[in-house]
Chain A
Amino acid sequence: MACGRAANRVSGGGIESMSRLNLRYIIIQNLKRKPYRTLALAVFVMMATGTLFAATLTLRAVQTSLQVGLERLGADVIVVPRGQQITAQEAFIVGQPTTFYMDQRVEQEIAALPGVGRVSAQVFAQTLTNASCCFGEFFLVGFDPRNDFTISPWLATHLAGRAIAPDEIVVGDRILLRPGETVYFYGSYFKVAGVLAPTGMGIDRTVFVPIEGMRQMIAASPTRAEKPLTIAPDQVSVVLVKAQPGANPNELAEQIERKNADLHALTASHMILAVSKQFANSLGVIVAVIAIWWLMALVAIALVFTLIVNERQREIGLLRAMGARQGFVFRLIVGEAAGLTGLGGAIGVIVGAILLVSFQGLLEQRLRIPFLFPTPFETIALIALLIGLALGSGAAAVLQPAFRISRLEPYEAIRQGE
C-alpha cells in the first residue's frame, strides 16, 4: 500500500520523509504499484490521442496546402480541354505529369469575355525517363513571363528586377535542383534561376520554363533528343484566368463553358471539392476509429477506477482517519486518472507527430492529397488542446467513483474494505 510504505518511511526517516506524503507522492506511488495496469491504460489513451492528433493535423495540412497552393497559382478559373479536367486536377494538386493541348486562340476568346481580368496560357510537357538526352522525370510547364501571374510575382522579388532568360528555369521545392545548377531536357540546357517556397501542391514538383525557351527546346528536340516533342507552336495546355474584382469565379466558369463547349473551366472551389472527395472516404474511417477508441478508453478508465476505488476502500479509510479531508481523497482519485490519461495523451501526441513527419510522403502518395504542415503556433495549440482533452476526459471518467468514495466516513470505508 502506497501510504503504508510512506508511513514506514515516516517512522524511520523523520520529518523529511513525512513531507513526501503529499497528494503528488501518493498518486505516483499508486500508479507505480500496478505497472502493467498503468501501462495498459496509458497505451489505450496514447493510441486514441495519437490517432486523433495525426488525423487532425493531416486535415489541417491538406487545408493549409490548398490555401497556400491556390494563392500561389493566383488563378480564379483554370480552363482545360473538355475531358481533361481530372488529369488537370492531378497535375495541379499532386504534380502528376500530364500532356494535353488545345488551340492558342482560346486565350484571346476568354480574354474578351466580361468579368475576365487577366489571362495567361501554359504549355505542359513531360521529360523522358531513362533517356540519355534528358535529366530525370519531370513535369515541365511553359509560362509566358509577359502575362503570367503564377511565377512572375516571385520572379519580381527574387531576380532583382531583371527578366528571366529563355534558358533559365524556376523549380518547385520538391525538385532536387538548386539555384545555379544546369540541367538538360530534350537535349537543351537550362540554368536554375530559383527554387519556389513549398506549397504542398503540384507546384512543388513542377519545373517552370519560359515559353520562349520551351518553344526553342521543342524545335530542337527532333535532332537532339531520343524522342522528339511534338507540340505545335499554336498549342497551349491550360489558360489561367484571374477574374475582375467583384466578378464571381463560378459564374465566369459557366460563361466560359457556354461560350465554347470544348472547354472545361475549373474553379478553386472545384479543386477543393475534388480533394475533399478523395479524402472523405479515408477521413470517415479515421473519424469512426477515433470515436470508438475514445469511447472505449473512457469506459475502460471508468470501469478500472471503479474497481480500484473498491479495492482501496480500507486504504482510503485509513487516510481519512489520519486526517485527510474529503476533498483530498476526491483529488487523489481524479488526479490519478488525469495523470494517467495526461501521460498517455502526451506520449500519444509525440508518437503521432513522429509517425506523421516520417510518413508524410507516403501519405501524400497513397491518398493523393496536397500536404503542408500548419504554422508552429497552430500545431502547438493543437497539442495543448489534445493533452488537455486527454486530462479532462480521464478526470471526467472517474468523477462518480471519486465522489462516492470521498463521501464515505473513515470507519465505514475501513469496514467495507476489509
Chain B
Amino acid sequence: MKGFKIVGILVAVVGVLVALTPTVLLPVCQELVKTAMGAFVPMRCHYTAQAEIAVGGLLAFVGVLLFVYGDGAKINGVLNAIVFALGGVVTLIPTVLIGTCGAPDRACNVGAKPALILLGALTMLIGAGGVWQAWRAGAPPTASAAAA
C-alpha cells in the first residue's frame, strides 16, 4: 500500500486534534448550570468534550495501527473504514448524540462545535479515500491489464 505511513500519521494527528479541540484549543463552556432542585451541574458541552477525548484517543490509536500494520490492502481497508466511522462519530457527538448549549453565542457553539464538525468531515474524507485506495490495490487485475 502506497503512502500508508503518511495516512497513519495524518489520522493520528487528527485524533489528537479532536481530543484537544474542546479541552485546550477551543475550550467548551466552563460554567455550571443550576437545576430546579438547586444543584449545580455541568452543561451538555462538558459531556461532549469528554466523549470527544475518548473518540480522539481511539482515532489516534487507529492512526498508529495504520502506520504499523497498514501495508496490506485488506487490513488497510478495514482500518480506514474504522477511521471513516469514527469521523462520523466525531461529527455526530456535538450535533446529534450529545449536543452543545442552546444559546448560539456560547463558546462551545462558536468554537468547539464547528471545529469538531470540520475535523469529523476531514476524518471521514481521509477514511473514504483510504478505503477506496485499499479497494483499488486489492481488486483483481482487469482483463486488459492481465493481457498486457
A-to-B contact residues, CB < 8 Å: 130, 132, 136, 174, 176, 205, 354-355, 358-359, 361-362, 364-365
Q: Provide a sorted-by-A list of 12 A–B residue pairs whose CB atoms are within 8 angstroms.
A: A130-B33, A132-B34, A136-B103, A205-B105, A359-B110, A359-B111, A361-B104, A361-B105, A361-B109, A361-B114, A362-B110, A362-B111
Task: List which B101-133 residues lie within 8 A (CB) of chain A.
Answer: 102-105, 109-111, 114-115, 117-118
What separation, in Å, do the CA atoms of A362 and B26 have in the docked complex?
A: 10
**Across the two chains, which residue of chain A brings its CB closest to B102?**
A176
Q: B103 near A176 (CB under 8 angstroms)?
A: yes
Rounded to whole Å, the gap between the CB of A147 and the closest CB of chain B is 31
**Chain B residues with CB under 8 A of A362:** 26, 110-111, 114
State the majority secondary structure of interface residues on A.
helix
Rounded to whole Å, the gap between the CB of A170 and the closest CB of chain B is 19
Q: A354-B118, A358-B118 are in contact. Are A174 and B110 (CB under 8 A)?
A: no
Q: B105 near A174 (CB under 8 angstroms)?
A: yes
Rounded to whole Å, the gap between the CB of B54 and the closest CB of chain A is 23
**Chain B residues with CB under 8 A of A355:** 118
What separation, in Å, do the CA atoms of A355 and B122 have in the docked complex?
A: 13
Task: List which B63-77 residues lie within 8 A (CB) of chain A.
Answer: none
Q: A361 near B103 (CB under 8 angstroms)?
A: no
**Across the two chains, which residue of chain A brings its CB closest to B106?**
A361
What separation, in Å, do the CA atoms of A145 and B105 have in the docked complex?
A: 29
What separation, in Å, do the CA atoms of A174 and B106 have in the docked complex?
A: 12
Q: B104 near A174 (CB under 8 angstroms)?
A: yes
What separation, in Å, do the CA atoms of A364 and B105 have in the docked complex?
A: 10
What separation, in Å, do the CA atoms of A358 and B112 have in the docked complex?
A: 10
Q: A365 near B105 (CB under 8 angstroms)?
A: yes
What separation, in Å, do the CA atoms of A362 and B106 have in the docked complex?
A: 10
What separation, in Å, do the CA atoms of A178 and B62 have in the docked complex?
A: 45
**Chain A residues with CB under 8 A of B118:** 354-355, 358
**Chain B residues with CB under 8 A of A358:** 114-115, 117-118
**Chain A residues with CB under 8 A of B102:** 176
**Chain B residues with CB under 8 A of A364:** 110
**Across the two chains, which residue of chain B brings its CB closest to A138?**
B103
**Across the two chains, which residue of chain A brings its CB closest to B107?**
A365
What separation, in Å, do the CA atoms of A347 and B16 have in the docked complex?
A: 25
**Chain B residues with CB under 8 A of A174:** 104-105
Kindly list the 9 A-B residue pairs having the minimum CB-CB distance in the complex, ordered from nearest. Answer: A361-B110, A358-B114, A362-B110, A362-B111, A130-B34, A359-B114, A365-B110, A358-B118, A176-B102
**Chain B residues with CB under 8 A of A136:** 103
What separation, in Å, do the CA atoms of A136 and B101 have in the docked complex?
A: 12
Rounded to whole Å, the gap between the CB of A45 and the closest CB of chain B is 20
**Chain B residues with CB under 8 A of A176:** 102-104
What separation, in Å, do the CA atoms of A365 and B109 have in the docked complex?
A: 12
Taking A358-B117, A361-B105 as known contacts, 6 extra A-B pairs with beta carbons closer than 8 A to each other, sorted by chain A number, are A176-B102, A354-B118, A359-B111, A359-B115, A362-B110, A364-B110
What separation, in Å, do the CA atoms of A220 and B26 have in the docked complex?
A: 41
Rounded to whole Å, the gap between the CB of A276 and the closest CB of chain B is 23
**Chain A residues with CB under 8 A of B34:** 130, 132
Rounded to whole Å, the gap between the CB of A114 and the closest CB of chain B is 42
Rounded to whole Å, the gap between the CB of A204 and the closest CB of chain B is 10
**Chain A residues with CB under 8 A of B117:** 358
What separation, in Å, do the CA atoms of A361 and B33 have in the docked complex?
A: 23
What separation, in Å, do the CA atoms of A185 and B21 have in the docked complex?
A: 35
What separation, in Å, do the CA atoms of A358 and B103 have in the docked complex?
A: 16
**Chain B residues with CB under 8 A of A354:** 118
**Across the two chains, which residue of chain A brings its CB closest to B118?**
A358
What separation, in Å, do the CA atoms of A364 and B104 have in the docked complex?
A: 12
**Chain A residues with CB under 8 A of B114:** 358-359, 361-362
**Chain A residues with CB under 8 A of B110:** 359, 361-362, 364-365
Rounded to whole Å, the gap between the CB of B42 and the closest CB of chain A is 14
**Across the two chains, which residue of chain B brings its CB closest to A131?**
B34
**Chain A residues with CB under 8 A of B105:** 174, 205, 361, 365
What separation, in Å, do the CA atoms of A153 and B110 have in the docked complex?
A: 32
Rounded to whole Å, the gap between the CB of B18 and the closest CB of chain A is 15
What separation, in Å, do the CA atoms of A362 and B110 have in the docked complex?
A: 5
What separation, in Å, do the CA atoms of A174 and B105 have in the docked complex?
A: 8
What separation, in Å, do the CA atoms of A364 and B111 have in the docked complex?
A: 11
Q: Mark B13-33, 1 if CB is under 8 A from A, else 0.
A: 000000000000010000001
What separation, in Å, do the CA atoms of A132 and B37 have in the docked complex?
A: 11
Q: Mark B80-120, 1 if CB is under 8 A from A, else 0.
A: 00000000000000000000001111000111001101100
Interface centre among B103, B105, B109 (most CB of A within 10 A): B105
Interface centre among B34, B102, B114, B117 (most CB of A within 10 A): B114
